[in-house]
Amino acid sequence: MRLNTLKPAPGAHKPKRRVGRGWGSGIGKNGGHGNKGQKSRGRGKVAIGFEGGQMPLHRRLPKSGFVSWRKQYSEEIRLSQLDKLSVAEVSLEGLKDLGVIGHKIQFVKVIATGAINKPIVLKGIRATAGAKALIEAAGGQVLA
């Protein structure tokens, strides 16, 4: 096998379909678009959701729910993750530097999953009531 003898597998490349090149081609005259009308013309597309002027379904149904913008900037950290860290004082910037959270995260909350065996001081990080109790039981403190 040599580079100059390489070619695609049989049937991998079909010739380009040349429309509008006479009746003998089978796709002559109107080029596969049928006769007249919006869809036969250039860029003849109907907008997604358009129902011919009737009020579209997505506007007939009521709006529901709410998604907070804070969700994309928030993250939860487990106590077991904090226990693995080699620092005694944890802050938002410290967690970013250690690579525990992403750089666009602005809100962090510690949740009571797992156990913590060493004293840790949380600065500027919120914690659930259960997590706060476990941190204080291990000799640490939460400074909000």
Under 8 Å CB-to-CB from 83, ≥6 apart: which residues? 114, 115, 116, 117, 118
CATH of domain 72-143: 3.100.10.10
C-alpha closest to that of 141 among 92, 88, 78, 77: 88
| In the chain, domain spans | 18-62, 72-143
| pLDDT average per 10 residues of sequence, the chain (144 residues) | 93 92 91 90 89 95 93 95 92 94 95 93 95 95 87
pTM, rounded to two decimals = 0.56
Q: Which residue reads 């000799």 in tokens?
A: 139
pLDDT of residue 6: 94
C-alpha closest to that of 88 among 110, 62, 120, 114: 120
pLDDT of residue 97: 94
Helix (H, G, I), strand (E, B) or coil at 142: strand
